[in-house]
């Protein structure tokens, strides 16, 4: 996918999410057009960095950021310091712990982040006239609940098992989230 195609695709996704949160479409279009017409090379001048000995004697440890593991950096540095004491050849090396973040607007537009392959998953109806599940199932690739965007992360059908499901009342707009090891039909 070309950069401009990626920009338009993700601009559309962001716009849909902002509209769902109450933003005005005409204002979002103006902002989107302004950003699309900016010259990226004029906005962000590339800085030439001096590569010194600091990076030739470094070990980089890359990990996914998680709010559940807030002290992982301290644990890794503590282990690294103990290892350096026992192996003298590592004495001059430095450990860098890098947390990977999920793609955000900055990584997409500023840092020219290469986007992962985006797949759209959904519920696939069996179209049997006797199926009591498929006639009520949604085939969307996402769900909005209380202005919260929830993507569907795998394909499913009425014979799928080990499922997490959402039942939503169209009258009162309440929902129920459940889990089952049996099939959708059961």
Q: Which pLDDT score, from 0 to 100, does residue 180 have?
A: 87
Per the model's pLDDT, the better-predicted residue between 46 and 34 turns out to be 34
**pLDDT tens string 21-37:** 888 888 888 887 887 78
Q: Which pLDDT score, from 0 to 100, does residue 75 have?
A: 87
Q: Check: CB of residue 160 under 8 Å from CB of residue 146.
A: no
* Per-residue buried b or exposed e for 98-115, using 16+ beta carbons within 10 Å of the residue's own CB: eeeeeeeeeebbeeeeee
Residues 6+ apart with CB under 8 A from 136: none
How do strand 142-145 and strand 148-151 relate by DSSP bridges? antiparallel
Residue 1 reports pLDDT greater than 60: no
CA dihedral 52, 57, 89, 81 (to 10 degrees): 120
Which among 113, 120, 141, 105 has a CA at the least distance from the CA of 18?
A: 105
Which among 78, 121, 69 has a CA at the least distance from the CA of 100?
A: 69
Distance of CA 52 to the CA centre of its chain: 34
Percentage helix, strand, coil for the chain under 3-state DSSP, each rounded to 5:
35, 20, 45
How do strand 94-100 and strand 175-180 relate by DSSP bridges? unpaired
Residues 6+ apart with CB under 8 A from 107: 101, 113
pLDDT tier at 66, thresholds 50, 70, 90: low
pLDDT tier at 119, thresholds 50, 70, 90: low
Q: Check: CB of residue 95 under 8 Å from CB of residue 76.
A: yes
**pLDDT tens string 73-116:** 888 888 888 888 888 888 888 888 887 766 666 666 655 555 55
Distances (CA, A) of 139 to 142, 143, 169, 176: 9, 10, 16, 18
Q: Which pLDDT score, from 0 to 100, does residue 103 have?
A: 60
Residue 41 reports pLDDT greater than 80: no
Mean pLDDT of the chain: 78
Q: What is the pTM of this model?
A: 0.36
């Amino acid at each position: 996918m070309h950069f401009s195609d990626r920009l338009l695709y993700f601009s559309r996704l962001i716009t849909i999410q902002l509209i769902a949160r109450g933003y005005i479409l005409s204002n979002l279009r103006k902002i989107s057009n302004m950003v699309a017409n900016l010259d990226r090379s004029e906005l962000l001048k590339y800085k030439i960095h001096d590569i010194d000995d600091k990076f030739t004697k470094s070990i980089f440890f890359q990990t996914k950021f998680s709010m559940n593991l807030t002290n992982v950096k301290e644990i890794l540095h503590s282990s690294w310091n103990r290892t350096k004491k026992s192996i003298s050849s590592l004495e001059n090396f430095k450990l860098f712990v890098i947390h990977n973040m999920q793609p955000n607007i900055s990584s997409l537009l500023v840092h020219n982040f290469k986007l992962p392959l985006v797949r759209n998953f959904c519920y696939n109806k069996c179209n049997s006239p006797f199926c009591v599940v498929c006639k009520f199932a949604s085939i969307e690739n996402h769900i909005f609940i209380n202005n919260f965007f929830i993507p569907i992360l795998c394909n499913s059908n009425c014979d799928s098992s080990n499922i997490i499901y959402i039942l939503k009342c169209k009258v009162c707009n309440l929902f129920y989230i459940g889990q089952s090891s049996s099939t959708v039909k059961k």
